[in-house]
Structure formats: C-alpha cells, structure tokens
Amino acid sequence: MATETETFDTSAYISHHLQNLVYGKLPAGYEREEDGHHEVLEHAEWTWAHSSQEAADMGFNALHVDSLAWSFGLGVVFCVLFAMVARKATSGVPAGLQNFVEMIVDFVDGNVKDMFHGKNALVAPLALTIFVWVFLMNFMDLIPVDLIPKIMEAFGIHYQKIVPSTDPNITLGMALGVFILMLYYSLKVKGPIAFIKELSCQPFAPPTKGPAIILAPLLIAVNLFMEIVGLLAKPFSLGLRLFGNMYAGEMIFILIATMFVGGLSFWFVLGGLLQVGWAIFHILIITLQAFIFMVLTVVYLSMSHEEH
C-alpha cells in the first residue's frame, strides 16, 4: 500500500499508477530533463519514457510494454492451463481443475448455441478464448495496486500497469480483431454484392420504378451513412465499454489506497474495509465485463452470417 509520508502528493501518486511503461521514439532535438540533468537529442531515438509527458510526446511511435507483456503472459497462462487439463482429462466423473474447466467450456458452449445461428467451427473456441482471456486480464485488478509496482521498482522499473484491460490500446485492439472477423465473414458468407446491398438498401428500401426512382440515390446515400456509422460504432463501443468499466474500477482501488497514508488507525481500518468490500463487488464486475465482451462478439459474428 502507499507508504506514509508527511509530504504525500495524492495527485502524483494517482498519476504514477496510471502511467504505462512506454518504449517509443523521441524526435531529434527533443529536450529531456531528469534529476536535474538536461539533455538534447541529436538524432531521433527509441528509448524508455521517463515521464508521462515524454510518453505523450512519443505519439503513435510508442509501445505500452507493460500492457503488452501482461496481456501476452496471461494469454500463455490460459493456453498452458487449458492444454494441461485437456491432456489429463478423463472420461469419468471430473474433479478439481478439470471440473472447473469443463464448467466454463459448457457455459460458453451453451451461450454460443443460443446466440449464434450460423455454421462456423471457429466461433465457440473464439468465445471461450475471449471470455477466459478477458477475465484473466480483469482479474489482475484485484491485486493490491502497490504490490507489483513496488517489486518492479527494485529492478529499476518505475512504471508498471498490470491490468491490460485498463489500457484502451488493448481493448480497442481486441475489438479491432473482432471487427475484421465481422467484415471477413460478411463478405465470405453473404458475398460482396449482397453485403453492399445490405448496407445501401436498409432501413429505407430505394424505389425501383415510377417517378420516385429519382430519390433512389439519396436514399442509398442515407442508408450507407447510417449503416456505416452503425458498423463502425460496434468495435468502438465493444472496446471502450470494457476499458471504461475497468479503468473506473482501477481508479477506485487507487483512491482507496491513498487512505493508508493518513497516519491514523481510523483511516487505515476504513481503507482496509473499503478495499475488501470493493474487491468482493469487483469480482462480479470483472466477470460480467468478460461475459459481455464475449456475448457481443458472438452476436456480431452471428449478424455477419445472417442475410436480411
């Protein structure tokens, strides 16, 4: 938890915990200031960001190393864990970890059968991967906010965000992957002509005969605008919904952690109770957000397999 200090800066504490470990490119002529040392870069340089300002100045040429490392690491944990259970699975009555994994598989499979109306062997494994992977990323939010960052500081790493789903780059990246699959299956199942017709002929069917046919181009343009906006809104809402909920939860944990520097036992006890209470409630949130991301993915892919 936050250490006690008479000059504790709450704003700096919060900002520090919300800063990613960033590796990116700074332009030539960039002025760096650290510990009173002034430096001007003669050439564009790939380097670690030493502050939130440097991370912002790197712009698009930057990698959130902590978010990438934790998300990939948790993905490996998921693959190894489920592969281990699959190798040791028995045909008898399951027990222990096998029973737990089978419950998750049956739960996801049942939901996919209820929501997906096409024929695609990829959807159920994809839904299982999304649910477990997003849940594991969300679960990192239950680890005390200062525990791993303090451990990392011992190795000279001063910034560390361990909850990948609080990074919009991660959530929007996953949503982009779902969006690409939506477009792929829309074109594959419906065909390019049928897909374009679907975008341009609903919700207002253009007239095909009579004087009203002169309005057809206008109606097609209106349909395209409305449908494309609706299509693009799906990945944005998918990624931002997960990010917003998890970011808010992380902020509450950080704010509660600031109570431990009050210097009074009352604030310490109150902070501890609030941490436990919010963690218990947050278990529901992290599970629900993983479920919603999975459900929306399956629904969007189902829509991509259906012809209106």
Q: Establish whether 237 is a catalytic residue.
A: yes
Q: Is 20 a catalytic residue?
A: no
The single residue of 241, 265, 302, 304 carrying the catalytic annotation is 241
Q: Can you tell me the distance from the alpha carbon of 148 to that of 13, in angstroms, rounded to the nearest whole number? A: 15
d(CA 98, CA 90): 9
Q: Which of 245, 265, 302, 304 is catalytic?
A: 245
Query: For residue 287, what are its two tokens?
Result: 């599970």
Beta bridge partners of 34: 37
Neighbours of 32 (CB within 10 A): 18
87 catalytic, yes or no?
A: no
**Of residues 15, 61, 99, 237, which has the active-site annotation?**
237
- In the beta sheet, which residues pair with residue 37? 34
Alpha-carbon distance 1 to 282, whole Å? 19
Contacts of 176 (CB under 8 A, 6+ apart): 235, 239
257 vs 14: CA distance, rounded Å:
10
Point out the residues that are catalytic.
237, 241, 245
